[in-house]
Chains A and B, each alone.
Chain A
Amino acid sequence: MQDRITKILKAIADPTRREIFHALVVAATALPITQISGQFDISRQGVTKHLKNLEDAGLVKINTKGRERFCYANTNPLKEINQWLKFYEQFWGDTLDSLSNYLDKNK
């Protein structure tokens, strides 16, 4: 079984998928697949495939309403990656404080 974080990282590794995801985040509402594919120079099938990939990673939710499928962005999985960034933000911030203290003591 593929790990979830691996899926997230693979999903956002593709520039087109990032653009699609970004479009959904900016829209801040559920968009029908037809409307999304209208914004991109690739086939509807291509967009659907990317959306499926994003859905697998948990970055997009797809709901079927009648004949249309609506997609919306879910940014929660990115929080896990954000954890790494937050952790090292704090780590290096504290490290630089340590360095600064050390230099001041030895002045």
Chain B
Amino acid sequence: MKNVIRKEQVLNHPIDTIWNAITIQEEISTWFINADFKAEVGYKYTFTAPKEQNCPQITGEVKKADPYTLIYTWIVANTNVETVVKWELEKTETGTKLYLEHSGIANYSGDTAVSMFTSFNSGWDNCILGLLEYLKNTVHAR
């Protein structure tokens, strides 16, 4: 059964612009989520949603940060579920191809899966959708 989410997107921007957007704390905080982040192997980062969303934090450790591959673990607060997020950039003739991969559900061992889905039921998905709405509005308001 499928256990990886893969996304591909062609972006009409230089590779370094995108690399900065996904690795520099201030930029991540602008378009994605409020971040305490350094693109250094071993750095333990924290992503915090806006307070009014009352969302769990996301934490993890940077596993790889060589241009143009960024890998970090992804742990939702109050769960022990560790999944892995990988960003890869590739130069194309007109811009950059971005590959995003989120893997790990197959690695869940019993109890962690339980808490994962329990946190789901208490509305974690609404919470993130709300956050995305917020981010969209913020981006559009710029």
> Which 4 A-B pairs give the minimum distances between C-beta atoms?
A102-B31, A6-B110, A3-B114, A94-B132
A39, B110: Cα distance in complex, Å: 30
Q: Are A9 and B113 in contact, with the CB atoms below 8 A?
A: yes
Q: Tell me the B residues contacting A by CB distance below 8 Å.
A: 1-2, 5, 7, 9, 11, 13, 17-18, 21-22, 27, 30-32, 98, 100, 102, 105-106, 108, 110-111, 113-114, 116-117, 120, 125, 128-129, 132, 135-136, 139-140, 142
- Which residue on chain B has the smallest CB distance to residue A6? B110
With A9-B108, A98-B32: A85-B120 Cβ-Cβ less than 8 Å = no
Chain A nearest Cβ from B112, distance in angstroms? 9
Residues of B within 8 A of A100 (CB): 9, 11
Enumerate A46-104 residues with CB–CB distance to B below 8 Å.
78, 80-81, 83-85, 87-103
Query: How many A residues have CB within 8 A of the partner chain?
Result: 35
Q: Are A103 and B11 in contact, with the CB atoms below 8 A?
A: yes
With A2-B110, A98-B139, A100-B9: A80-B18 Cβ-Cβ less than 8 Å = no
- Which residue on chain B has the smallest CB distance to residue A83? B120
A103, B71: Cα distance in complex, Å: 21
Residues of A within 8 A of B106 (CB): 13
Residues of A within 8 A of B1 (CB): 12, 18, 78, 81
Residues of A within 8 A of B98 (CB): 96, 99
Q: Are A99 and B110 in contact, with the CB atoms below 8 A?
A: no
- Tell me if A27 is interfacial: C-beta within 8 Å of chain B: no
A12, B128: Cα distance in complex, Å: 28
- Which residue on chain A has the smallest CB distance to residue B9? A96
Other-chain contact of A89, B5, B111, B136 (Cβ < 8 Å):
B5
